[in-house]
Amino acid sequence: MPAPSPAPVAPAVAPPAKPKAKPKSGRKGLWMVIAIVVLGSGGGWWWWQNAQAASAHAAKKAPVAEARPQARYYALEPAFVVNLTDEESVRYLQADLQLMTRDETTLAAFEAHAPAIRNRLLLLFGQQSAAQLAQRSGKERLQEAALAEVRKLLKDEGAADRVEAAIFTSLVTQ
């Protein structure tokens, strides 16, 4: 008798494979994008609100710029004509001067005290020499001295003395 044949060996079959799950990275990526958009939008909104609040706060602190009154000029007429102090020859100064203020009361004081103002300025101009007035710095010093004389006179008279400038509109030495 023939030897019994071995039982056929069944091929090794692997256990049925579990179906592969879809990678969740696509879903994770989607949630990441949503999170970035939400956080970015929230952060942008927060920044915008703080910027607006800071701007409003700064506007409250900033001083309100008031309209500055218009400059007003008072011409001292006629022109000043004085002898200068030069000893080697007879020299003259001819000057047109205007006073500037932004205060109506001071402007009225110029008119009220014009003769006294002219007197003080004639005496001041008569103390100058041609050499002193030859340079710009000398003319500017004379301008400052004229302004100080006008302020002093108005203060002594108890008048408004808000004079901002004494301006030469003409200045000739001869």
Distance CA 16, CA 103 (A): 104
Q: What is the DSSP letter of 29?
A: H
What pLDDT does 145 receive? 98
Distance CA 152, CA 158 (A): 10
- Location of structure tokens 């710095």: 137
- C-beta of residue 95 within 8 angstroms of C-beta of residue 80: yes
Under the banding of pLDDT at 50, 70 and 90, the label for residue 49 is confident
Task: Kindly state the greatest CA–CA separation across the chain.
Answer: 167
User: Exposed, middle or buried: residue 59 (CB in 10 Å: 0-12, 13-18, 19+)?
Assistant: exposed
Please state, as a whole number, how many other Cβ atoms lie within 10 Å of the Cβ of residue 33: 10
Dump pLDDT digits (tens) for 88-126. Answer: 999 999 999 999 999 999 999 999 999 999 999 999 999
Q: Which two tokens stand for residue 64?
A: 């309100």
pTM of the model: 0.62
